[in-house]
């Protein structure tokens, strides 16, 4: 891959240049499907949830490469309709939300009952071309100590593994890094990159389970560039970028649900992170997830445009993109 340093160029020129560029990375818009663990509309990604048709139109308008799945659209219409929409708007499939009741807050009965609708999601999304789904691991518990918690999720991954293999879908699991998310509960749990890798290895599921890597969680967990450098290329399924707040914070006091657009403050070394991932050969979706109230208050179109400009800037700074 040949990189070009675009230097300092006007914002409009940068936007036009990157909109006409391609790399193996998929700049993905996520305004289509609220995560299974939140209410809709949510303040995740950029704080907006739109109908799939409108999401595709705006994704093309602002130069995204891919769109995340809308499971409601797939159920109400069909995978073929989703394929036609993505083709019409020159978009590739991104990812879909992991809908199984996987985490320890759910009973074994809840988990087992959730596998039927999860398999339906797998079938619909795979038929529409989506081959990865994404979820997260709770970083603490009031009822399970670390070892019991680990054993429970290991069993559940093993239970899900045959479904993922049958549909050729890869699951990306996210660790939640901030210390602020673990203080209020009795027992600590996985909140690091190594912890997620150990869980996947213990379940012998490396072939179908990997990592959803969030820049904010990577930073607040205390990890560094070497932790990314030592990963295997196939381990990273999905990447989320953002930045930490300005102010009297360090990486262990930053709040989880208040963030900035990528590159806004320079708190997180996104350039280093993205360059390490590029050197690994990462070729999946990259999504902006700032949990930012200002974006949520904007119109969807304005929020998407602002998000895309920030994403392009941080990719350009890391020399990710190149001309065809």
Question: CA-CA-CA-CA torsion for 236, 81, 85, 37, nearest 10 degrees?
Answer: -40
The CA distance from 50 to 33, in Å, is 8
Phi, psi of 2 (to 5 degrees): -105, 120
Q: Which of 242, 244, 139 is nearest to 181 (CA)?
A: 139
Tokens of 85: 């929409």
Both structure tokens of 300: 């969807």
pLDDT at 280: 94
Q: Look at residue 4 and tell me if it is in a domain.
A: no
Is there a domain that residue 95 lies in?
A: yes
Select from 259, 279, 28, 267 the least CA-distant residue to 134: 28
Phi, psi of 92, rounded to the nearest 5 degrees:
-105, 160
31-83 confidence digits (pLDDT tens): 876 555 455 544 457 878 889 999 999 999 999 999 999 999 999 999 999 99
Number of domains composing the chain: 1
Is 3 inside a domain boundary? no
Is 1 a domain residue?
Answer: no
Distance CA 187, CA 189 (A): 7
Question: The domain that contains 111 carries what CATH number?
Answer: 3.20.20.150
d(CA 297, CA 47): 8
Structure tokens at 149: 């918690």
**Residue 229 belongs to domain spanning:** 11-317
How many other β-carbons are positioned within 10 Å of the β-carbon of residue 48?
Answer: 23
The string of pLDDT tens digits covering residues 113-159 is 999 999 999 999 999 999 999 999 999 999 999 999 999 999 999 99
pLDDT band with cut points at 50, 70 and 90 for residue 23? low
């Amino acid at each position: 891959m040949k990189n070009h340093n675009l230097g300092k160029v006007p914002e409009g020129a940068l936007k036009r240049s990157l909109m006409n560029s391609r790399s193996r990375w998929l700049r993905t818009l996520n305004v289509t499907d609220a995560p299974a663990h939140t209410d809709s509309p949510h303040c995740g990604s950029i704080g907006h949830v739109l109908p799939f048709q409108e999401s595709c139109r705006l994704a093309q308008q602002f130069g995204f490469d891919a769109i995340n799945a809308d499971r409601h659209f797939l159920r109400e219409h069909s995978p073929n309709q989703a394929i036609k929409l993505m083709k019409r708007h020159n978009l590739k499939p991104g990812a879909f939300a992991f809908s199984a009741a996987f985490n320890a807050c759910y009973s074994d009965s809840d988990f087992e009952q959730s596998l039927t609708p999860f398999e339906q999601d797998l079938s619909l999304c795979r038929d529409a071309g989506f081959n990865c789904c994404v979820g997260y691991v709770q970083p603490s518990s009031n009822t399970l100590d670390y070892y019991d918690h680990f054993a429970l999720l290991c069993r559940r991954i093993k239970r899900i593994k045959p479904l993922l293999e049958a549909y050729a879908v890869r699951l990306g699991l996210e660790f939640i890094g901030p210390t602020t998310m673990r203080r209020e509960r009795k027992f600590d749990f996985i909140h690091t990159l190594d912890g997620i890798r150990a869980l996947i290895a213990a379940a012998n599921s490396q072939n179908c389970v990997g990592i959803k890597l969030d820049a904010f969680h990577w930073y607040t967990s205390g990890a560094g560039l070497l932790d990314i450098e030592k990963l295997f290329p196939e381990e990273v399924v999905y990447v989320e970028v953002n930045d930490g707040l300005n102010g009297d914070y360090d990486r262990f006091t930053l709040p989880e649900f208040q963030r900035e657009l990528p590159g806004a403050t320079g708190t997180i070394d996104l350039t280093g992170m993205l360059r390490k991932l590029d050197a690994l050969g990462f070729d999946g979706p990259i999504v902006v997830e700032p949990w930012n109230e200002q974006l949520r208050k904007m119109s969807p179109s304005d929020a998407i445009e602002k998000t895309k400009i920030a994403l392009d800037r941080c990719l350009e700074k890391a020399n990710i993109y190149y001309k065809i």
